[in-house]
Amino acid sequence: MSAPQRKPSTDVQKDASMAKQKAMIDSNFERLGNVRNSGEKVSYTFVPGNLNELVMCFDMVGNYPEINAIQNGLRKKSGGMIMEAEKWGHSEDVCTYVKSDIGMMRKGNIGPTGQPIPEPDILMLSYTGCYTFLKWFELLRHDYKCETAMLHVPYTGDNKITKSMVQYVVKQLKEEVIPKYEKVSGVKFDIDRLRENLANSARAEDDFVWVLQSAKNKPSPIDAYFGGIYYIGPIFTAFRGTELAVDYYQTLRSEIEERIRKGQGPITPEGEMKNEKYRIVTEGPPNYTSMRDFWKMFYDEGAVVVASTYTKVGGTYDFGFRHDPSRPLESLAEYCMHCYTNRNLPERTRMLESYINDYEADGLLINSIKSCNSFAAGELMMMREVEKRTGKPGAFVETDLVDPRYFSAANVKNRLESYFQMIDQKRRAGA
């Protein structure tokens, strides 16, 4: 007679930094929901290449459409929104962030926390490699009919950022972006205020990189993919450049230092990872609608993600970039060009290779996202090349961002189990 199956716990284990991050993100939604009373103006922009330090100079509230989609996905609200967008003619192949956002708007623009998302006073598109953003803001501009600022960021096709590329972006900041923000906000640009914000960013970035690189320890005190979603929240959104972000990353770093001292693994929703059996590098975004189930599959196998490319979508700080208050506009320009989706496939492959080697990983796992061409294009080629260069096995699973219809738990679990068996076989052959 088989033993009775234990029901999975509904209690989610969190450490203090996770709770702090959630409170910060929720506070921005509260601020957005209160603009009718506060009189604040609202700026919509995207995570990669966002200019939060600059936006704050104009006393504006930042709204991030893909963050809304992520939060709705985590709360399992995005499925109905996506279907609503499809009723309005959006294809099944369109980015599900877009459809979740459009569907939310069509259903009354009530945000993830139940508070209304106000209409934008300005749309600021910093183009950093995802062409979907262009069409997304076209749709929003058509409905909202508000001011739009377009910052064209040169693609780093040969992995070099030249002086002329920086000057090209700075010229747009001076002649296009800043004047429009001054006009919409009624606030005069103060470059000293920008410098102060950039100094805060650099301080937070130092601690953020330290946290990411702490995964080189054995056992790793963090999970750089699932746990990394929490870590990137403040620095990729409305808090980069603030004292709150500086404080958050100091708190997080202290927390991780204590875990290293005690020889502990990362905190997961199921509890502490106590038996690190596999060290994995991941490419691509996670699935948000079934994130706990996805994470638990790793937890059950003793697999820890020690590095991921997704946590670099809002800046590749671990490769040396820092915001520089002594060169404020130039620094903003360089930040945009350093975002992961603005890098070519050979450079992305080199990043993955370095992660495998530097973090002593057992292999590369690609979560290919059905509707995200910015990540999905070229991933199989990158996986084969990384396998060839490192001798470590790769694996390929397929899910989606926030569409629950495209997460097959049984299929993903089977592929993961097969992959970990492959790693075991490689180890035995090497021994």
Write the DSSP assignment of 114-125 as a string of letters. Answer: SSBPPPPSEEEE
In contact, 92 and 406? CB cutoff 8 Å: no
What number of other Cβ atoms are within 10 A of residue 101's Cβ?
29
pTM for the model: 0.93
**Tens-binned pLDDT, residue by residue, of the chain (431 aa):** 333 444 445 566 677 888 899 999 999 999 999 999 999 999 999 999 999 999 999 999 999 999 999 999 999 999 999 999 999 999 888 999 999 999 999 999 999 999 999 999 999 998 887 888 888 988 999 989 999 999 999 998 888 899 999 999 999 999 999 999 999 999 999 999 999 999 999 999 999 999 999 999 999 999 999 999 999 999 999 999 999 999 999 999 999 999 999 999 999 999 999 999 999 999 999 999 999 999 999 999 999 999 999 999 999 999 999 999 999 999 999 999 999 989 999 999 999 999 999 999 999 999 999 788 888 888 999 999 999 999 999 999 999 999 999 999 999 999 999 999 999 998 888 76
Tokens of 280: 């994995």
Q: Is the dihedral of CA 407, 413, 293, 5 positive or negative?
A: positive
Q: How far, in whole angstroms, is CA 202 from its chain's centroid?
A: 18
Half-sphere exposure of 73 (CA within 13 A, CB side): 29
- Angstrom distance (rounded) from CA 426 to CA 422: 6
Rg of the chain on CA atoms, in Å: 21
